[in-house]
Amino acid sequence: MFIAEKKSQITDYRGKRNRGKIKGRIVDINALLEVQSLLGDESRARDLLIEHLHKIQDKYGYLSAAHLVALASEMKLAPTEVYEVASFYHSFDVVKENDNAPPALTVRVCESVSCEMAGAEELISALESSLGKGVRVQRVSCVGRCDKAPVAVVGQNTIDQASSDSVKVAVDGGRLTQPMPENSIDFDAYRASGGYQLYDKLLAGEISGDAIVAALEGTALRGLGGAGFPVGIKWGILRDQPLPRIVAVNIDEGEPGTFKDRFYMLSDPHRMLEGMLIAARVTDSGDCYIYVRDEYPSVLENLRIAVEDLQNKSGYDLPKIELRRGAGSYMCGEESALIESIEGKRGMPRLRPPYLAQVGLFGYPTLEHNCETLFWIRDVIEKGGAWFDSQGRNGRKGLRSFSVSGRVKNPGVHLAPAGITIRELIDEFCGGMLDGHEFYGYFPGGASGGILPASLSDIPLDFDTLQAYGCFIGSAGVIVLSDQDSARQLALNSMKFFAHESCGQCTPCRVGTGKAVGLMETGDWNVDLLNDLSTVMMDASICGLGQAAPNPMLSVIKYFPQELGLEENQ
């Protein structure tokens, strides 16, 4: 009915520039009407391009050339601009004109570090040989369920510890959809346990923004997305910037080995939302944007419910809160690339200065935080900085949420003292090593954090403690290796991930990661050439991806020479 009504209203379906001259592709009427039906009365603002691309992808399973041209016409953008954004992100299946559409069903299998260790290659081979021609098996990067490896995704049905049999059940229509978490704390339960009382005090003037900033500056709380910038200092910097200001929340953890944000956003989303509101109030910021990775549909839905409850039940005069859906790019975990993506662009990092606190989202000063950083604001202020700092161990301060996967009995998110050693973490929190596995090494900070051998198991795990060993903790994604694993092979897995996820903006990263993969796939590593290549990548890459990508490879050369046949040269 909608399409029939619209057809009578349309007189010209051709793409036109402002000068009135016909340029580019003819807009297909049916595609245009379908796009208009999907978008309805929603805004056609430029920053909603990715959101609208998702609508088309969700409806039809892919992005056809006709739909991309129609969307460009509807949003008054050049078709090339729409195409370059759609083709940048891995979540979008862009089908060129005259090409066949993808199969109706796609089975995505994670092939990143933890899943490879758990048998992803064998699973992929079994599925490729057993599933019918109407099903596509696709290798994908980390989907954030490393503690449940190997993982397959059928549509939005996630199959943990997947086998070919369990995947076939989902393909055949079995009910394997992951339910919303029953133990998630909703608005009423959060309010009943003291939630939003700190925000109430801030609104009432019972506690000042100056006092909150001073309290944060006096604690060890740092940015928990990986960079580790002190929170209080960050808030103070933003308060010195001109109005208006914006808050952006980063829930795009794509680092292989990291899944803590998913855990917290599924269990206690209002604690983060309160931290976000406090941050916005203290820094006198207006709009709040929450960016959630596309691989986390349950997180996105849980946050939608939480935000709606907050808007409908709290009675607060809230700032605008917008949820934005990522589109499958690891790069968007980098703060400036995330800002670009929220603006509806390719997720490519910006050159700095200026910094986001000066020129951020839509050109305004922006406070960008990982969601876990905001999650701890209430506890740190209510219980005091001394409480938080006293949680550390081995001379360190505070708490860390360790995402632990690999060869341990109890993988998962473990809240432990900052400065705990890997031995202590495995024995006290993870139930020890799996039976039949001997501790061999570990990634202390996800795929980019390097690899350390078992002989270096007494290093405190925290910010600033691992750099001397060529590693870093990042977002504390710990992957535990046993004597049945190969550090060399897992370093290659990591480099393939970085080559796949490189945005391509700078030559050292774009070319360097691919070149490194080729060199690492040879029987004998050319160590001198790999070292030279690493130096160029680390010194000349624009952002952390290219700068950190060599870490696992360099770790193998330094700490696992026996795997390269280099014992005599060390």
| Beta strands 477-482 and 439-443, pairing class | antiparallel
Looking at the DSSP bridge assignments, the partners of residue 247 are: 288, 367
The Cα 452–Cα 209 span in angstroms is: 42
- Owner of token pair 């290549």: 533
With 50 as the cut, is the pLDDT of residue 17 above it? no
Nearest to 184 by CA among 268, 285, 300: 268
The Cα 107–Cα 208 span in angstroms is: 52
Which DSSP string do the residues of 499-544 spell out, in sequence order?
HHH--S-SHHHHHHHHHHHHHHTSSS--HHHHHHHHHHHHHH-SSH
Nearest to 477 by CA among 390, 418, 533, 403: 403
Nearest to 478 by CA among 226, 255, 225, 257: 257
Percent of the chain scoring above 90 in pLDDT: 89
Give how far Cα 129 sits from Cα of 122, 125, 172, 516, Å. Answer: 11, 6, 16, 31
What pLDDT, in 10s, does the model give residues 414-462?
Answer: 999 999 999 999 999 999 999 999 999 999 999 999 999 999 999 999 9
The Cα 481–Cα 490 span in angstroms is: 10
What pLDDT, in 10s, does the model give residues 116-164?
Answer: 999 999 999 999 999 978 899 999 999 999 999 999 999 888 999 999 9
Min mean pLDDT across 165-179, 368-382, 448-462 is at 165-179
Token pair of 517 as six digits = 């993969």
**Cβ(560)–Cβ(520) below 8 Å:** no
The Cα 463–Cα 77 span in angstroms is: 44
The pLDDT score that the predictor gives to residue 178 is 54
**Cβ(358)–Cβ(246) below 8 Å:** no
Report the run of H or E that residue 375 belongs to, with start and end.
Answer: helix 371-375
- Owner of token pair 């432990």: 416
State residue 61 phi and psi, 5-degree precision.
85, -5
More confident residue, 204 or 1: 204
Give the side-chain half-sphere CA count within 13 A for 493: 28
With 60 as the cut, is the pLDDT of residue 501 above it? yes
Distance of CA 54 to the CA centre of its chain: 17
With 50 as the cut, is the pLDDT of residue 217 above it? yes
- Owner of token pair 């989303």: 269
The Cα 69–Cα 66 span in angstroms is: 5
The pLDDT score that the predictor gives to residue 225 is 93
Instruction: Work out the pLDDT band at 10, boundaries 50, 70, 90.
Output: very low
What pLDDT, in 10s, does the model give residues 225-256?
Answer: 998 999 999 999 999 999 999 999 999 999 99
Give how far Cα 501 sits from Cα of 255, 286, 293, Å. Answer: 11, 32, 14
Helix 269-282 × helix 297-313 angle, to 10°: 60
Nearest to 266 by CA among 176, 154, 182: 182
The pLDDT score that the predictor gives to residue 24 is 65
CB atoms within 10 A of CB 335: 27
CB atoms within 10 A of CB 353: 7
Span between the terminal Cα atoms of the chain, in Å: 75
| Beta strands 14-16 and 22-26, pairing class | antiparallel
Compute the CA torsion angle 544, 473, 532, 523 (nearest 10 deg): -120
With 60 as the cut, is the pLDDT of residue 324 above it? yes
The Cα 266–Cα 25 span in angstroms is: 44
> In order of start, what are the domains of the chain with their CATH numbers?
2-95 (1.10.10.1590), 105-171 (3.40.30.10), 187-382 (3.40.50.11540), 399-485 (3.10.20.600), 488-569 (1.20.1440.230)
The pLDDT score that the predictor gives to residue 132 is 79
The Cα 447–Cα 114 span in angstroms is: 10
